[in-house]
Amino acid sequence: MFGFIKKSLGKTVDAIKTVAPKKKKYFSKNELEDILLEADVEYTLVEIILNEIHKDKITRDILRSKLLATLSYSSYKEPKFTAPFVELIVGVNGAGKTTTIAKLAYKYQQDGKKVILGAGDTFRAAAIEQLTLWANRLNIPIVSSKQGHDSSSVAYDTIDSAKAKGFDNVIIDTAGRLHTQTNLANELKKINRICDKAHSGSPHRTILIIDGTQGNSAISQAEAFDNMIGIDGIIITKLDGTAKGGSIFSIAYALKLPILYVGTGEQPENLTPFDKYEFVDGLLDALFEETDKKESL
């Protein structure tokens, strides 16, 4: 797992090396400010981190504890539910929703679960076609309708079919954009209500897909979705293709929501559970020299 996360941080590490080309045992506050900003950690958060440090020479252990603190909301506890487990996937077009749904479905398949998909993004014909291609590739059933049809009816039919046929997991796609944000909010709220009618208590988890290449600009987008429908967790996509890996700290700190997975490639298996310790250590390995763990600070 660590290999995937570390590899996906390659471009972020390269960006850091432009301001910190050599590994050191410690850095000054000014040096760390440049490093964190280069990794796309939001300026306000950089100031918060550095203001809490009262030493001139900042070691790996000191910085590690501060970075981990920004990810303190990264744990997730699965809610109690009666099968099937229903997930609603939300996010703007282009964030990687369709591919991420396929990766989630593949993961559940590998865990021995029976999965069914719902093509609830009826606003875009391409979304229905892309999800259907993935369903066929993974040999997973899918419920869909034509472009422009009622997305909430797709959600209902998907859950109804899952209950009748004994499926374990239901993953429902949603539109990323309608004509106005109000229309999108109304549609998502309607889907939520219909899911609960089809299976009381569902959706059990609503996941927001965030494009990692957008960096900190994704925060306002995420806040909008959270206000519309309530988000339970986040998946960061395209982490391997961006130098903005540090934005994960800002996103987690601002939203106070758990990051569930990160996308580390295009294949179905390239969905890695987010581990804050491995993520932080992957960045710090690029900055600090190896030291004797017994060495006192």
Number of domains in the chain: 2
Residue type, 136: N
pTM assigned to the model: 0.89
Q: How confident is the model at residue 167 (pLDDT cuts 50, 70, 90)?
A: very high
Taking the C-alpha atoms of residue 207 and residue 227, their distance in angstroms, rounded to an integer, is: 13
Q: Are residues 53 and 95 in the same domain?
A: no
**pLDDT score at 151:** 93
Tens digit of pLDDT for each residue in 170-182?
999 999 886 678 8
Determine the straight-line distance between the first and last CA of the chain, rounded to whole angstroms. Answer: 30
CB 153 within 8 A of CB 70: no
CB 93 within 8 A of CB 177: yes
Instruction: Give the residue carrying structure tokens 């934005």.
Output: 247
Q: How far is CA 14 from CA 17, 201, 262, 276, 295, in A?
A: 5, 45, 19, 20, 29
Q: Are residues 127 and 152 in the same domain?
A: yes
**pLDDT score at 4:** 66
Q: What is the mean pLDDT of residues 82-104?
A: 93
Residue 152 lies in a domain: yes
Residue 47 domain boundaries = 2-73+280-284
Percent of the chain clearing pLDDT 70 (strictly above) = 95
Exposed e or buried b per residue across 276-296, where buried means at least 16 C-beta atoms within 10 angstroms of its C-beta: bebbbbbbeebbbeeeeeeee
List, in sequence order, every residue forming a beta bridge with 26; answer none if it has no partner: 59
Read off the CATH number of the domain in which 184 is found. 3.40.50.300
Average pLDDT over the chain, rounded to whole? 88
CB atoms within 10 A of CB 143: 22
Tens digit of pLDDT for each residue in 226-262?
989 999 999 999 877 777 788 888 888 888 889 999 9
Backbone phi, psi, residue 170, to 5°: -120, 125
Residue 289 lies in a domain: no
